[in-house]
Homo-oligomer: A and B are copies of this chain.
Amino acid sequence: MEGQMEIGVVVEAVHKVEPPPLQTTLDKLKVRLKETFFPDDPFRRFKGQPSKRKWLLTFQYLFPVLVWAPNYSLSLFKSDLIAGLTIASLAIPQGISYAKLANLPPIIGLYTSFVPPLVYAVLGSSRDLAVGPVSIASLIMGSMLRQVVNPNTDPYLFLQLAFTATFFAGLFQASLGILRLGFIIDFLSKATLVGFMAGAAIIVSLQQLRNLLGIVHFTKKMGVVPVTSSVFHNTNEWSWQTVVMGICFLAFLLLARHVSMRRPKLFWVSVGAPLASVIISTLVVFLFKAQNHGISIIGKLKCGLNRPSWDKLLFDSTFLGTTMKTGLVTGIISLTEGIASGRTFASLRGYQVDGNKEMMAIGLMNIVGSCTSCYVSTGAFSRSAVNHNAGCKTAMSNVVMAMTVMVTLLFLMPLFAYTPNVVLGAIIIAAVIGLIDVPAALHIWKLDKVDFLVCLSSFLGVIFISVQEGLAIAVALSIFRILLQTTRPKVIALGNIMGTNIYRDLHQYKEAKKVPGFLILAIEAPINFSNTTYLKERITRWIEEENTMEDKETGLKFLILDLSAVPTVDTSGISFLIDLKKTTEKYGLQLIFVNPMGEVMEKLQRANKIDNFLGVDSLFLTIGEAVFSLSSSFTKGTA
C-alpha cells in the first residue's frame, strides 16, 4: 500500500459508470427540440391553469398592452407624459435627419415616428424602448438601395423600394420570432457590434461632410477612400456660410452632449439641443434669408398624416433580389439594436423581455409601417436611454411621442421649410459619435485578443469595404472561431494533486504531479468528424513523447482518457475511439475511459455491441478510482 499512498490515492470503493435511463429516439428528439427552440419554456405559466385563464394569458402573451393597461393610473400617465414629450423633442429632428441619411424625403422620417410607436405600444413587452427610425439601419438601407436606383433622378421608385425593403425586413423579423430562431441575432457578438457601430459612425459622419461643407456633387459610394476624395476634390463647392453654421451647431451639440455625460442629471441638455438647434437655425435662415447665400434648406413640406402605401410595395423581379437583401440586412441590424436595447433596460429594472416575442412585435410594426409610408424602424438605444432617464413607466410614452409627432405632422410642417440641411448633418454627426465606444474596445482588448481581432476586422471591413461585407467578415470570423475550438480541441495532461484524489492540469497547477506509468488526458470538446484526425495525431505524438521521457524501467502502461468534458460523440468519434484502442495496443498501452457522459456512454455501449472493443477495466467513474484500481492490479502483477 506504501506505493499507493505516494501517488496520493485515497482508498475508496470503485463505482460503476452507468448509462442514462433508456429513452426512445422520439423522446430524445422532443427534449432536443425543446432545448433548441423553447429554452425559456414560455408555456410554463399555462400549466395547470383553468381554460378561461389560459385564454386570457394567451391574449396577454400576444398583446402585452393587456398586461399593463387595466392597471394604468393617472400618476403613471404623468411620468409617461413627461418621458413621451422628451423623446418627441428628440424624435422630430432625428426623424427628419435619418430620413435624409436613407435618401428619403424628410417627412418619411416623421411618418416613421408616428405609426410604428403606436403599434409597438400594443405589441411590445419592453417598458423603456423608444421606437422610431435609427441611424445605422437608415444608412444601410440608403446605401444598399442606391446601388440600383438613383434617389435624385428617380425618387418615386426609390421610395417604393424603401417600403418594399421595410416590408421584407418586417416579414423576416416576425418570421424569426415565430420560428423561434431568435438565436440567429446572437451571432452578432458584442465585439462585432462595437467594431461595426464605430465603423458605421465614421462612415455616416464622413458622409455628412457633404451637408456640413455644402457640397453638391458627392460620391455615391460608402468607403472612407471615395468619400474623403469626394470631399477634397470638390473644394470649389464648399460654401463658407454653410461651413460656419455647421461648425457652430456641431460645437453646440457636442458641448451639450459633453455636459450631459459629465452630469447625468442634466441629461435634458443633450436631449433638448437638437430641437433647439433646429429652431434657432430655422429662425436664422428665415430672418437673414440665408437660403439665398449658399445655405441649402429642406424646402416646402406638406401637412398631413401618413398615407397608405401598400399599393407602393413593388414585388417586381428586377428589384426583388435587392429589396429582399436590403430587408434582410437592415432587418437583422435593427432587430439586434432593438432587442439589445430592450434587454439592457429590462435588466436594469429587473423585468424580463422575451426575445422571440419582441421580434414578432418589431416585425409586425415594420410590416404595418411599410403599408403606411414608413421605412424601417426599431427601438433606438440612445432614445430609449433618454426615455428611461426621463422616467417612463410603460409603453404609453411611445403613444405620447406619436401624438406629439402627429400634431407636428398636422400643423407644424410649414415651419420646417427654412430648416437648413447643414443642421440636420450636425445632428446626425452628434448622434452617431456616441456609437464610437473606445472604452468598450479597450475592455475587449484587455480580456480577449481574438475578440478584439473580430472587433477590428468588423470596423475595418465597414470603413474600407462596405457595411454589409464588414459585418459578414466579422460574423464569419466569430463562427470560424467556434469551429476552430471544436476542430482543434484542448487536450490537457492531468496530474495528481499530492495527498488527494484530485487530478488537475499539469500546466496550470504546480502541485499536480505525473503518475508514473500513466498518461492521463482530458479532451475538452465533442469528439466528431472535424477533430478525430487531429486528436489521433496529437495523442499519438503525446504517447511518443511520453515514451521517450518516461523511465524505461517503469514505462508507460496506461492511457486514461477523461471524457467528463466531452458532451457528445458522433460516428466518426466512435470510430476514432475504437481506432485509438488499436493504436494504444500497438504501443503496449491499456486504454481507459473515465466518466463518459450520458450520450457518450450510450453510444459507447451501442458501438460495443457491434465491435466489442470495451474490455474489462476500461471504464471508470473517476480518474482516482482508475489509477487506484489499475496501479494496484499492476503492482500485484509484477510483484
Q: Could you list which residues of chain A lie within 8 angstroms of chain B, going by C-beta atoms?
A: 10, 12-13, 15, 18-21, 25, 29, 35-36, 39-41, 44, 183, 186-187, 189-192, 347, 350, 355, 443-444, 446-451, 478-479, 481-490, 492, 497, 499-500, 502, 504-505, 507-511, 524-526, 528-534, 537-538, 541, 564-565, 567-568, 570-572, 574-575, 579, 586, 595, 597-598, 601, 603, 606-607, 610, 621-622
Q: For the complex, give the distance between the alpha carbons of A151 and B601 in Å.
A: 54
A-B contacts, 29 of them at CB < 8 A, read A10-B10, A15-B502, A18-B509, A18-B510, A19-B508, A20-B508, A21-B510, A29-B449, A36-B488, A39-B538, A41-B541, A183-B534, A186-B530, A186-B532, A189-B529, A191-B570, A191-B572, A350-B586, A447-B574, A451-B571, A482-B483, A482-B530, A485-B486, A485-B526, A485-B567, A505-B597, A524-B565, A565-B565, A565-B567
A183 to chain B: which residues have CB within 8 Å? 487-488, 530, 533-534
A481 to chain B: which residues have CB within 8 Å? 528
A446 to chain B: which residues have CB within 8 Å? 606, 610
Q: For the complex, give the distance between the alpha carbons of A352 and B565 in Å.
A: 29
A570 to chain B: which residues have CB within 8 Å? 189, 191, 447-448, 450-451
Min CB gap A626→B, angstroms: 13
A452 and chain B: residue at smallest CB distance:
B571
A39 touches B524 (CB 8 A): no
B508 touches A571 (CB 8 A): no
Min CB gap A623→B, angstroms: 11
Min CB gap A50→B, angstroms: 19
B12 touches A500 (CB 8 A): yes
A567 touches B443 (CB 8 A): no
A603 touches B448 (CB 8 A): yes
A508 to chain B: which residues have CB within 8 Å? 18-20, 597-598, 601
Min CB gap A482→B, angstroms: 5
A575 touches B190 (CB 8 A): yes
A507 to chain B: which residues have CB within 8 Å? 20-21, 598
A504 to chain B: which residues have CB within 8 Å? 595, 621
B482 touches A486 (CB 8 A): yes
Pick from B449, B541, B567: contact of A524, CB under 8 Å? B567
A478 to chain B: which residues have CB within 8 Å? 529-530
